[in-house]
Amino acid sequence: MTPAGDNAFLDAARALLGAVHVLTGADAAPYCRDWRGRYTGRALAVLRPATTDEVAATVRLCREHRVPMVPQGGNTGLVLGSVPDGSGTAVVLSLQRLNRVRAVDPLNNTMTVEAGCLLQHVQEAAAGAQRLFPLSLASEGSCTIGGNLATNAGGTAVLRYGNTRDLCFGLEVVTADGEIWSSLRGLRKDNTGYDLRDLYIGAEGTLGVITAAVLKLHPQPAAQMTALAALDTVEDALALLQLAHARCGPALTGFELMSALCIDLVRAHFPQLAPAMAARQYVLLELSSSESAAHAAGLLETTLDEAIAGGICGDALVAASLAQAQALWQLREHIPLAQAADGKNIKHDISLPLSRVAHFIAVTETALHDALPGCRLVCFGHLGDGNLHFNVAAPAGTDSEAFLVHQPLANRIVHDSVHAHGGSISAEHGIGALKRDDLLLYKSATEIALMRTLKRALDPDGLMNPGKVL
Ligand SMILES: Cc1cc2nc3c(=O)[nH]c(=O)nc-3n(C[C@H](O)[C@H](O)[C@H](O)COP(=O)(O)OP(=O)(O)OC[C@H]3O[C@@H](n4cnc5c(N)ncnc54)[C@H](O)[C@@H]3O)c2cc1C
């Protein structure tokens, strides 16, 4: 657009939303920086509509002026999906003002919320109705439910409750041409043609703007028990997972793997959180019982006793209080913070069939050490879902910033191995702009062609979050 065209567009946006909700210059800058602070783009403006009708009118205005749009929730995404490129031609479409809980229906076990609601507020509103909304991420105080849906976020309870997709019964969406489509009916069954909801979930804002959703609620557990188990190998961790599934069934709600190096990093930077036990691998288990604390404790004790007797597990620490359970989760959640305190590293968010996880780790670690002698593998994650955060750090005592020059090589080694083991190069964070080129390497030509066909059909002008995913 010409400067005159830009001004005409901005005037029209101000008339639509009010001048205070059209941010430019320094006011727009925070919306253009990614969460990790590694990238800063530029926006023509940040537009902050407050209702679905305003979102629809904003999308129509952008379309009329051919202005690209980058939907944004809490801007906690880790793959550069929520920030504009450096051209300064796109607007950030912030959903933060659409933040109402529209309805809670305890009989249907659903709640209808707007896209800009913080995940933590959604959890609190569910708890207020004596229900559980089980999606849980370390970013829950900042991310929005719209962002969670747009990225199909995972988190710590996928093992029992599924991804965000599994927690959604219906959506309200503003399409790329500014129409409003709604399936906010709270239906558990609806086989009436193509599932449009599933197209918009996980699309990372490239097909339309999610403005509201009907979420699935669960009963609140009567009690939860948490334990930390000390093990020798990843194979042992997988054997413990099988055992825990067999003994605890749906009561098993969390199963997180942490290697010794992860715990060493936490010990170095947050010593108050480090456990007293020493092991080569650690597993954090969480059980939720709909009956009682005694029931959860019984299941946990049976599982751990059998694991210790069978030589799968060396030692275990069972949290005796809520505070101790929280401290164990803090240990897990501080791994990324301890890593950041240790220096820069090369991150991978991958998933594999459980049956191939151990072989993958063994051969990929060897390949990384051969190519990058002395590099350190910081491996942790939601093992119950086959999801690993498989991060590569610089050799101890060396310049971590300089080590980032090896990122393309490390990515190639890890992602080639993931592909060879039948896994995915993005388990829960999405593709955004960061992994877009890698997607072309690992998806089949047929799959990419089908995705492009969908993109062209639903966003023919290519204005919805251009340059992301495809
Ligand atoms: C400390 C930390 C821990 C994290 N832990 C996890 C984890 O365990 N599991 C996990 O899956 N992720 C995790 N994340 C990543 C991130 O929090 C999630 O991807 C989250 O779902 C993003 O929500 P958001 O509101 O911040 O979205 P944003 O970052 O604003 O946007 C993410 C993507 O969704 C699109 N988008 C946002 N809102 C909408 C909308 N209403 N309609 C259409 N498109 C939209 C954006 O264009 C962008 O492509 C973590 C991030 C941090 C910083």
Ligand 1 pocket, residue 71 CB under 6 Å: yes
Q: How far apart are CA 183 and CA 169, in angstroms?
A: 8
- Given the CA of residue 427, which atom of ligand 1 is nearest to it? 11
- Given the CA of residue 119, which atom of ligand 1 is nearest to it? 25
For residue 1, is pLDDT > 80?
no
Non-local (6+) Cβ contacts of 60 within 8 A are: 177, 178
Ligand 1 pocket, residue 205 CB under 6 Å: yes
Q: What is the CA(165)–ligand 1 centre distance, in A?
A: 14
Kind and range of the H or E element at 324?
helix 322-333
- Given the CA of residue 76, which atom of ligand 1 is nearest to it? 26
Nearest protein CA to atom 17 of ligand 1, as residue? 76
Q: What is the CA(274)–ligand 1 centre distance, in A?
A: 29
Nearest CA-CA partner of 55 in 198, 202, 215, 181: 181
Q: What is the CA(396)–ligand 1 centre distance, in A?
A: 31
Q: Candidates 51, 113, 139: which one to mutate for ligand 1, based on the most atoms within 8 Å of Cβ?
A: 139
Ligand 1 pocket, residue 35 CB under 6 Å: yes
**Which amino acid, residue 240?**
L
How do beta strands 208-216 and 315-318 pair? unpaired
Q: What pLDDT, in 10s, does the model give residues 331-376?
A: 999 999 999 999 999 999 999 999 999 999 999 999 999 999 999 9
Ligand 1 pocket, residue 94 CB under 6 Å: no
Torsion of CA 385, 138, 350, 214, to 10 degrees: 60
Please state the rounded mean pLDDT for residues 146-151: 98
Q: What is the CA(81)–ligand 1 centre distance, in A?
A: 8
Angle at Cα 444 formed by Cα 446 and Cα 423, nearest 5°?
140
Q: What is the CA(361)–ligand 1 centre distance, in A?
A: 27
Q: What is the CA(237)–ligand 1 centre distance, in A?
A: 29
Question: What pLDDT does residue 138 have?
Answer: 87
Nearest protein CA to atom 53 of ligand 1, as residue? 76
Give the residues across from 350 on adjacent strands: 388
Question: What pLDDT does residue 36 have?
Answer: 87
**Which amino acid, residue 27?**
D
**What are the contacts of 417-422 at 24+ separation with CB within 8 A?**
417/360, 417/363, 417/364, 417/367, 418/348, 418/350, 418/352, 418/360, 418/442, 421/352, 421/353, 421/356, 421/359, 421/360, 422/352, 422/353, 422/356
Non-local (6+) Cβ contacts of 397 within 8 A are: none
Q: What pLDDT, in 10s, does the model give residues 162-196?
A: 999 999 999 999 999 999 999 999 999 999 999 99
Q: Please state, rounded to an integer, the average pLDDT across all residues of the chain.
A: 96
| The pair of three-digit structure tokens given for residue 297, joined into one six-digit string | 């404790």
Q: Candidates 72, 204, 348, 385: which one to mutate for ligand 1, based on the most atoms within 8 Å of Cβ?
A: 72
Q: What pLDDT, in 10s, does the model give residues 234-271?
A: 999 999 999 999 999 999 999 999 999 999 999 999 99
Give the residues across from 255 on adjacent strands: 285
Ligand 1 pocket, residue 469 CB under 6 Å: no
Q: What is the CA(143)–ligand 1 centre distance, in A?
A: 6
Ligand 1 pocket, residue 68 CB under 6 Å: no
Q: What is the CA(156)–ligand 1 centre distance, in A?
A: 15
Ligand 1 pocket, residue 253 CB under 6 Å: no
Share of the chain above pLDDT 70, in %: 100
How do beta strands 281-289 and 252-259 pair? antiparallel
**Which amino acid, residue 162?**
G
Ligand 1 pocket, residue 148 CB under 6 Å: yes
Ligand 1 pocket, residue 137 CB under 6 Å: yes
pTM strictly above 0.75: yes
**pLDDT interval class at 438 (50, 70, 90):** very high
Q: Candidates 133, 137, 455: which one to mutate for ligand 1, based on the most atoms within 8 Å of Cβ?
A: 137
Q: How far apart are CA 94 and CA 21, in angstroms?
A: 10
Q: What is the CA(148)–ligand 1 centre distance, in A?
A: 5
Q: What is the CA(159)–ligand 1 centre distance, in A?
A: 20
Question: What pLDDT does residue 4 have?
Answer: 80
Ligand 1 pocket, residue 34 CB under 6 Å: no
SS3 90: coil
